[in-house]
Amino acid sequence: MRDRLILLPGWGLGSSPLQPLADALRGLDPRLHVEIEPLPQLSSSNPADWLDELDANLPQDAWLGGWSLGGMLAAELAARRGERCSGLLTLASNLRFVAEPSWPDAMAAETFAAFRQGCAMDAAITLKRFSLLCTQGATDARALSRQLLSAAPQLEPSVLLAGLDILAALDTRVALQAFVGPQLHLFAGQDALVPENTAQALLTLLPDVEIGLIDGVGHAFALERPHEIAMAIQAFLHEADDD
């Protein structure tokens, strides 16, 4: 099913940040079936539980992709499915969201711990702060942030906290190395959450995958530059199909 692409959203903000990209992809190729699958609303902090639910709900043999946390989950699911996944694409997704000595190009552990504590105390204020971080580096960051917040779903605090725990637990390096299908990883040049150096670190780890860096955009670049990203994805899909 190389004509089907499933996109997974990031933490806390729902599907709306990916909707303009999905629309742009459909406009470029009406034969491409693009679906945005909401993340599981689980209070479990075990990544396997989230992957089990996604695996049960998503069609087989489709392309898997996602933004931020969604891209990390897509990478793990692609590795799990192997040949039953047509290919993988990620948008502003780090291989580890929280830094450790073997992967320093990520958010400092102390910063993440403070962010999680803030979410436990007041989820609404934390989501507002997160939306501002997502749009930092954008042309009109505050307007884009308000757009993200206004469309965000009302999630239980336990689900938000579990999502942060999943974000901290995932390390997709083994999954990306194990998945032999085509891979495209796009990064944002002004990303406040995923360091620019992540792109080079990934290329060092996996020199044969496709990597792109879009300058002048922040973490929510799929909302800011949907047509540019859609064209990059479409070109990659066509190239992979030719292979």
Q: What is the pLDDT of residues 81-100, one digit of tens each?
A: 999 999 999 999 999 999 99
We find that the CATH architecture of domain 4-242 is 3-Layer(aba) Sandwich (3.40)
Domain residue spans of the chain: 4-242
Overall average pLDDT of the 105-124 stretch: 96
The residue assigned the tokens 């990597």 is: 211
CB 61 within 8 A of CB 5: no
**Residue 191, CA atoms < 13 Å, CB-side half-sphere:** 27
pLDDT digits (tens, 9 = 90+) for 58-88: 999 999 999 999 999 999 999 999 999 999 9
Spot the catalytic one: 93, 145, 171, 191: 191
The verdict on pTM exceeding 0.95 is yes
Mark whether 105 is an active-site residue.
no
- Is a pLDDT exceeding 80 seen at residue 110? yes
Spot the catalytic one: 68, 86, 93, 145: 68
SS3 for 114?
helix
Spot the catalytic one: 86, 131, 145, 219: 219
Mark whether 191 is an active-site residue.
yes
Closest to 31 measured CA to CA, from 182, 186, 241: 241
Predicted confidence band of residue 188 (pLDDT cuts 50, 70, 90): very high
Mark whether 219 is an active-site residue.
yes
